[in-house]
A = this chain, B = another copy of it.
Amino acid sequence: MNTIGNKLRLTTFGESHGVAIGGVLDGMPPQIQLDFDRIAAAMAERRPGGLGATARSEKDLPEFLSGISPEGVTLGTPIGFVIRNEDCKSKDYDVLKDCFRPNHADFTYELKYGIRDHRGGGRASARETACRVAAGALAHQFLTLKGVAVKAFLSSVGHVGDFDILERLARRPELSDSFEIQEPLREEMMAEILRAGKDGDSVGGSVVCIVTGVPGGLGSPLYDKLNARLSAAMMGINAVKAFEIGGGVELCKSRGSQVVDAFVKRTDSGVMTSSNFSGGVQGGISNGMPLFFRVWFKPTPTIGLPVDVMRRDGEVEKLTVHGRHDPCVALRGVAVVKAMAALTIADFILEFGTQA
A residues adjacent to B (C-beta < 8 A): 1-4, 9-15, 18-24, 26-27, 30-31, 63-67, 69, 73-80, 82, 100, 102-105, 107-109, 111-117, 122-124, 128, 156, 158-159, 196, 199, 201-206, 216-217, 220-225, 227-233, 235-236, 238, 240-249, 251-257, 259-266, 270-271, 273, 277-279, 281-288, 296-303, 305, 307-310, 314, 316, 352, 356
Chain B residue at smallest Cβ distance from A353:
B353
Give A271 to B111 CA distance when docked, in angstroms: 9
A65 touches B3 (CB 8 A): no
B14 touches A65 (CB 8 A): yes
A303 touches B222 (CB 8 A): no
| Residues of chain B contacted by A260 (CB below 8 angstroms) | 102-103, 301, 307-308
Evaluate whether A241 and B232 lie within 8 angstroms (CB atoms) in the complex, with A201-B257, A255-B201 already known: no
| Residues of chain B contacted by A221 (CB below 8 angstroms) | 1-2, 77, 105, 109, 123-124
B222 touches A30 (CB 8 A): no
* Given A158-B254, A252-B296, A265-B316, 5 more pairs with CB closer than 8 A: A13-B80, A30-B113, A77-B123, A228-B236, A277-B298
A65 touches B263 (CB 8 A): no
B235 touches A241 (CB 8 A): no
Question: Which of B108, B259, B265, B303 makes the CB contact (< 8 A) with A256?
Answer: B303
Give A74 to B65 CA distance when docked, in angstroms: 24
